[in-house]
Amino acid sequence: MAGGGPVVVTGGAGFIGSTLADALVAEGRRVHIVDDLSSGHLHNVPPEATLHEADIRDFDAVRGIVESAGALTIFHLAAQADVRRAIADPAFDADVNIRGTLSVLEAAHHAGARVVFAATGGGSYGEYPGLPIPTPETAEPRPLSHYGQSKLAGEGYCGLYGRLHGVPTVRLRLGNVYGPRQDPHGEAGVVAIFSGRLIDGASMTVFGDGLQTRDYVYVDDVVDAFLRAGAGTPHQTLNIGTGRETSVLDLVRILGGGDPAFEPPRPGELQRSCLDASLAAGVLGWRPRTSVEDGLPRTLASVRAARGD
């Protein structure tokens, strides 16, 4: 596919945002990235894209960038995405994830643009008795972290801008995204940590019994969902996950990690998290194509290559 108008990708120097930027460049789109490089990297930015080094909380800067780019689609991925940092500094987390999202929505409103927002599934649904697993979008979100709550607030503002100003928004509630370029701090950070340990020849550390599960979704599949959502779907909240639970012990086994070392469970950690993405299948025609058996070895190989091993 080639052509299409210019787009803005916030967080386009980060793990998911830069993979999305690569795909948009490959489609022949003009890509403008807004990123303050706080957790992203210059080397992730595709050379064909224009990097605007700016903070999403700077309303005037974001509005100016979107308007001068002539972008009618904004993929909003910039965030404070570190759950532990959010607990340590909740005001900073709220500032970036709520005020930053508000700034992006203001810019979209003034430019007449649509927004595709990177929301979180596991982080926002939380875990409580009666929560269906796999979890559909109709389940009540009850976050258990500041991060899950601030991302949910961002979704709330997306809804508001739709009702108040008619800004079309799609909120993609992502599972635990893994793949090349991920770092240890994101929601699927354990994959990067285990990969590093394996390459170092060290044993993997499992907190608790290792039976806690997550919905690990491969980054290329997530990018495919963003591209589909950016093509014109209005006003939707959609889960983007595999519907399959993978435990920490499964990760160790698939990566070939040998016997792990066990440590006491970490307080506040979810026991189970898994998303029902059948709505995205119906609305976007999206389905995950990469199993953990394929995606994990690819991720490990990319970590090895990045370290020159």
Ligand X SMILES: NC(=O)c1ccc[n+]([C@@H]2O[C@H](COP(=O)([O-])OP(=O)(O)OC[C@H]3O[C@@H](n4cnc5c(N)ncnc54)[C@H](O)[C@@H]3O)[C@@H](O)[C@H]2O)c1
Active site residues: 147
| Cis amide linkage into residue 136, ω under 30° from 0 | no
77 near ligand X, judged by CB under 6 A: yes
174 near ligand X, judged by CB under 6 A: yes
96 near ligand X, judged by CB under 6 A: yes
Residue 245 region by backbone torsions, left for phi larger than 0, else alpha for psi between -120 and 50, else beta:
beta
CB of 162 to ligand X, least distance (A): 19
How far is 158 from 191, CA to CA, in rounded Å?
A: 31
CB of 259 to ligand X, least distance (A): 27
How far is 43 from 129, CA to CA, in rounded Å?
A: 44
56 near ligand X, judged by CB under 6 A: yes
126 near ligand X, judged by CB under 6 A: no
Which range binds ligand X by CB under 6 A, 78-86, 190-198, 278-286, 295-303? 78-86
Contacting residue, 39, 101, 103, 237, with ligand X by CB under 6 A: 39
Q: Residues 237-276 vs ligand X: string with x where CB under 6 A?
A: ----------------------------------------
Query: SS3 of 149, please?
Result: helix
E strand spans, the chain: 7-10, 31-35, 50-53, 73-76, 114-120, 169-174, 176-178, 205-207, 213-214, 216-218, 236-240, 246-247, 261-263
- Residues contacting ligand X: total by CB under 6 A: 32
Nearer to ligand X, 255 or 275 (CB): 275
Contact set for ligand X, span 99-118 (CB under 6 A): 100, 118
191 near ligand X, judged by CB under 6 A: no
CB of 201 to ligand X, least distance (A): 27
Residue 20 region by backbone torsions, left for phi larger than 0, else alpha for psi between -120 and 50, else beta:
alpha
Contacting residue, 13, 49, 223, 251, with ligand X by CB under 6 A: 13
DSSP string, 61-72: HHHHHHHHHT-S
